[in-house]
Amino acid sequence: SQKIEQNSEALNIQEGKTATLTCNYTNYSPAYLQWYRQDPGRGPVFLLLIRENEKEKRKERLKVTFDTTLKQSLFHITASQPADSATYLCAPSDYNQGGKLIFGQGTELSVKP
């Protein structure tokens, strides 16, 4: 069955460092992958989408990579700030899913000042 794995343990880092979050998937051939941010008591918010033919995508301090051979996406936040503290969810998808989006469990990031 299809499976999406994200770091189950919370990631604690110091302000200013780079945070790297991992999303691994199995039994998927996603055409694209999305990353979302979720704050406590709120719904997830879209951050970035990367397609299978894109190795890397950037948006301000965010960078996402997509390795279809390793079946993995990495999400980086450079020069992290306490305001980046949240849970980050990945969602791979392919065109056969007809718009359906399944999410990983998410990784909680805590950035300490």
Q: Rule CB under 8 A: which residues touch other proteins?
A: 31-32, 34, 36, 41-46, 49, 51, 89, 93, 95, 97-106
Whichever of 85 and 106 has its CB closer to other proteins, that residue is 106
Strands of the sheet containing 19-26, edge to edge, are: 3-6, 19-26, 72-77, 62-67, 56-59
Q: Which is nearer to other proteins, 2 or 12 (CB)?
A: 2
Q: How far is the CB of 60 from other proteins (least distance, A)?
A: 17
Q: Rank residues 45 and 70 by Cβ distance to other proteins and give the closer one.
A: 45
The residue among 50 and 80 lying less far from other proteins, judged by its C-beta, is 50
Element spanning 104, H or E: none
Min separation Cβ 90 and other proteins, Å: 11
> Using CA atoms, how far apart are residues 89 and 43, in angstroms rounded to an integer?
11
Give the integer Cα–Cα distance in Å for 76 and 62. 6
* Burial zone of 37 (CB within 10 Å; 0-12 exposed, 13-18 middle, 19+ buried): buried
CB of 61 to other proteins, least distance (A): 19
